[in-house]
A and B are shown apart, each in its own frame.
Chain A
Amino acid sequence: MSAVIRRLVTVVDETRREMGKALATPTRKAAAIAVIENPCAGRYVENLDELIGIGEELGAILGGMAVEALGIQPSRAEGYGKAAIVGENGEWEHAAAILHPKLGAPLRKAVEKGAALVPSAKKMGGPGSRIDVPLGHKDAAFVRSHFDAMEVGLPDAPRANEILVAVVVTDSGRPLPRVGGLKKEEIKGEDGLR
């Protein structure tokens, strides 16, 4: 069964100046958010395959929306992350079922490659709950300039029987990175780490 989607929202966050300093190239992060019905709300469901399938579907939809919102070729995407907020009639594990088994593969397709683990966060909450979507470089998790986060949320979601699912894609790292570590120009992009 496919996801019953109530809302789709896109947010693009573009930073042009930081602490008075203009950036040579603005940094941009795009969040694509879906609010869906939770088919497992209100009771204990042992087998979570339905949510796992919804995760796969949302990986493609939200990954595509985020890249499109940035207006870039998929190969220009540099960072990504994912998160879910489960409404109060659901279970913590429902977030895991959506995020971890199958959402990653179609998201990686949307950004071309994606050798690195997709960083994630999850929680339960009511309408207006916010969540910080962790971000990392898509091909090498140790790239220090791309460790970041984007806070997302909607005033009316998730309702008790809903789940809010967010995917963030970036075309850059933090605005003025200067804390050392592995640089994006140095990565091999083979093992997902370096």
Chain B
Amino acid sequence: MNEVKAVARDASATEGGGLVKVRKFVLHVEEVLHEFGPSADPPQLKGYIAAVTANPYAGRHVKDLLPLMEALKPLGIQMAERLIAALGGKERIKAYGKSAIVGENGELEHAALWHDPGGYGMRQIIKPSKAIVPSTKKVGGPGTVVDVPLAHVNAAYVRSHFDCIECRIADAPRANEIVWIQSMATGPRIYARAGGLEDKDVKGEDGLK
């Protein structure tokens, strides 16, 4: 695997009524050329983008969390645009997923705020994208690893596109932070041969098959 890790420069997503304050972005792209067998042609590109933000609800129980969900929408779109660009354009994106890691002064439920803005940020750009966006979430300290699932963008049952990528940021999340993550891939696992529904047979009506 050829691994590229770069920190994006533009931190302009500090909007959303002051609720969303980004400390850093991390963009990670892997190019899978082979797995001890034939060369993948074309290689699979898979990657993630992460944004580390302050957690406005850290340190106390806040009942109404929905303002942050709304405020995260522009960030969700901006992150998706960056990751799509890094993977070669929206036509190439065949799988997606999302995750969040909440710092120790936050609550697991805070991670759930990503379901709407994280998912729809990607689905607004990637078309068609009828399939549910698979996800994981956890509470953890700096350097916590999260496995970001991947699945086909238009039909959740496409077996060749079930995949996964690890995300770890050494200095995040700090106690009062949250890491928001989106993952994408340009194709199936490179030696997919576990049968099941194939990409070419997708009907694309219900998001499942």
Q: Which residues of A contact B (CB under 8 A)?
A: 18-21, 44, 46, 48, 52, 83, 91-93, 96-97, 99-101, 117, 119-123, 130-132, 134, 141-142, 144, 147-149, 151, 174-181, 191-193
Contacts and interface: CB of A to CB of B under 8 A. Distances in A.
A93 B189 contact: yes
Interface string B176-209: 0000000000000111111110000000001110
B164 A21 contact: no
A20 B136 CA distance: 24
Interface in B100-156: 107-109, 112-113, 115-116, 132, 134-138, 145-147, 149, 156
Nearest to A145: B112
B108 A96 contact: no
Contact of B115 (A96, A134, A179): A179
Contacts of B206: 191, 193
B9 interface: no
23 contacts: A19-B61, A48-B194, A92-B35, A92-B191, A93-B35, A93-B191, A100-B159, A100-B196, A120-B149, A121-B149, A122-B164, A123-B164, A132-B99, A132-B136, A134-B147, A142-B132, A147-B135, A149-B146, A179-B113, A179-B115, A179-B116, A193-B132, A193-B207
With most chain B CB atoms within 10 A of its CB, the pick from A44, A46, A96 is A96
B69 A179 contact: yes
* Chain B contact surface mostly: loop
A181 B115 contact: yes
Interface of B: 35-37, 60-61, 63-66, 69, 99, 107-109, 112-113, 115-116, 132, 134-138, 145-147, 149, 156-157, 159, 162-164, 166, 189-196, 206-208
Contacts of B195: 52, 100-101
A144 B146 CA distance: 20
Nearest to B163: A122
A134 B149 contact: yes
B194 A151 contact: no
B35 A179 contact: no
Given A93-B192, A93-B193, A174-B109, A131 B69 contact: no
A192 to B, nearest CB: 7
Contacts of A179: 65-66, 69, 109, 112-113, 115-116
Interchain residue pairs A-B with the least CB separation, the first 3: A149-B136, A132-B147, A96-B194
B149 A119 contact: yes
Nearest to A94: B194
Given A91-B191, A93-B189, A193-B132, 19 more contacts: A21-B61, A44-B36, A48-B194, A91-B35, A91-B36, A92-B191, A93-B35, A93-B194, A96-B194, A119-B134, A121-B136, A122-B164, A123-B164, A123-B166, A141-B156, A142-B132, A147-B137, A178-B109, A180-B69
Contacts of B149: 119-121, 134
A137 to B, nearest CB: 11
A52 B195 CA distance: 10
Contacts of A20: 60-61
Contacts of B132: 117, 141-142, 193
Nearest to B159: A100
Contacts of A134: 134-136, 147, 149
A99 B162 contact: yes
A170 B150 CA distance: 22
Given A122-B162, A134-B149, A141-B132, A18 B193 contact: no
B80 to A, nearest CB: 19
Given A132-B136, A134-B135, A148-B137, A177 B112 contact: yes
